[in-house]
């Protein structure tokens, strides 16, 4: 099959996938009356483990059974986890407290398997350029959640496939607009897939109507999960692909992007993505590590601002 070529010279932008996109995820932190005091409980009715942090912002006459802030991982599947007990320090006297909680999908104990490799996230026979990747000129991708992400320029409606087996833990499918307006930050259609080692792949900027899987669905590598687009803060059709995990940083939880390796061919040739690579998805003949020079031998020129995303 002749490779399909799409060289993208548009200025790409992207969203940072925000907690706002998780507002419908079935997770809650609440206090429950227990005798003279309260229990702080997290309830997770979704398919993914959830990392949660709870801090006390104000308190009077209280005693706790553990230090705050409390950080924990709440298992998936209609599970509850007691995070802390709070009691009056002086029995019979009035007491008060306030809490602040934050949470992210994923397990802060997860570590990417050293053996983990990822197929190209588009169908066999297609070939595209990697527009931005770690180690190359970075227009965006300058924050911890996206520093190892890649942008792959591809026409609107190109099938997007799973790069690794996993579980769909969240989707965003309601966005219809794309552009460079700041109000579009955090508003891209996306799929998040958790792998066996607990890491999470993010496939972002999918087309309106281009999310083809549902939360809780298991997918196999190479399975079609979406259609490329340009929703959210973006100025051209492309796929933003990243592998992430949850990081504990002091009393905060943040998403951290991780280095990863693609593979092509059978037996596979494994390589780290680099800006300018022109890579064909083929998984039949022996693989060859691609260079950052397109077919035809002319080096890909990187114009300032070309192929950037977050």
Say yes or no: 120 and 239 in one domain. Answer: yes
Of the candidates 24, 305, 25, 21, the one whose C-alpha atom is nearest the C-alpha of residue 184 is 21
The full 3-state SS of 55-85, as one line of letters, equals: EEEEEECEEECCCCCEEEEECCCCEEEEEEE
Beta bridge partners of 157: none
Say yes or no: 100 and 220 in one domain. Answer: no
Say yes or no: 101 and 131 in one domain. Answer: no
Residue 290 lies in a domain: no
Say yes or no: 188 and 156 in one domain. Answer: yes
Write out the residue range of the structural domain in which residue 229 sits: 111-280
pLDDT digits (tens), the chain, 310 positions: 444 333 333 333 333 443 334 558 999 999 999 999 999 999 999 999 999 999 999 999 999 999 999 999 999 988 899 999 999 999 989 999 999 999 999 999 999 999 999 999 999 999 999 988 887 666 666 678 889 999 999 999 999 999 999 999 999 999 888 878 888 778 889 999 999 999 999 999 999 999 999 999 999 999 999 999 999 888 789 999 999 999 998 888 999 999 999 999 999 999 999 999 999 999 999 999 998 754 444 433 323 233 334 3
Say yes or no: 64 and 149 in one domain. Answer: no
Written as six digits, the tokens of 280 are: 């064909």
Say yes or no: 79 and 118 in one domain. Answer: no
Indicate the SS3 state at residue 184: helix
Say yes or no: 82 and 136 in one domain. Answer: no
Say yes or no: 258 and 125 in one domain. Answer: yes
- CA distances for 298 relative to 3, 72, 171, 260, 279, angstroms: 17, 52, 39, 27, 15
State the total domains in the chain. Answer: 2
Residue 151 lies in a domain: yes
Say yes or no: 93 and 121 in one domain. Answer: no
Say yes or no: 85 and 203 in one domain. Answer: no
CATH of the domain at 94: 2.60.40.10
Say yes or no: 274 and 130 in one domain. Answer: yes
């Amino acid at each position: 099959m002749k490779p399909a070529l799409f060289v993208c010279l548009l200025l790409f932008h992207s969203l940072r996938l925000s907690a706002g996109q998780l507002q419908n995820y079935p997770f809650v932190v609440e206090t429950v009356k227990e005798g003279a005091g309260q229990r702080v409980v997290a309830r997770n009715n979704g398919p993914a483990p959830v990392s949660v942090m709870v801090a006390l912002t104000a308190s009077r006459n209280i005693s706790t059974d553990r230090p705050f802030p409390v950080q924990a991982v709440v298992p998936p599947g209609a599970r509850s986890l007691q995070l802390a007990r709070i009691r009056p320090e002086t029995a019979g006297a009035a007491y008060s407290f306030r809490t602040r909680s934050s949470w992210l999908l994923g397990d802060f104990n997860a570590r990417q398997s050293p053996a983990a490799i990822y197929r190209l996230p588009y169908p066999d026979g297609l070939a595209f350029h990697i527009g931005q990747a770690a180690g190359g000129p970075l227009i965006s991708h300058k924050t911890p959640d996206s520093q190892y992400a890649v942008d792959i320029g591809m026409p609107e409606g190109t099938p997007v496939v799973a790069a690794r087996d996993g579980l769909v833990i969240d989707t965003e499918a309601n966005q219809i607009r794309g552009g460079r307006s700041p109000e579009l930050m955090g508003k891209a259609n996306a799929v998040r897939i958790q792998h066996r080692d607990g890491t999470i792949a993010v496939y972002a900027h999918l087309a309106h109507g281009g999310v083809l899987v549902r939360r809780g669905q298991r997918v196999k590598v190479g399975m079609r999960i979406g259609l490329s687009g340009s929703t959210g803060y973006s100025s051209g059709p492309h796929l933003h692909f990243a592998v992430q995990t949850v990081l504990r940083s002091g009393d905060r939880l943040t998403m951290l992007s991780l280095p990863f390796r693609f593979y092509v061919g059978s037996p596979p040739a494994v390589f780290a993505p680099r800006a300018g690579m022109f890579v064909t998805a083929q998984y039949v003949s022996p693989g060859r590590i691609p260079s950052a020079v397109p077919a035809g031998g002319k080096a890909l020129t990187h114009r300032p601002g070309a192929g950037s995303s977050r």
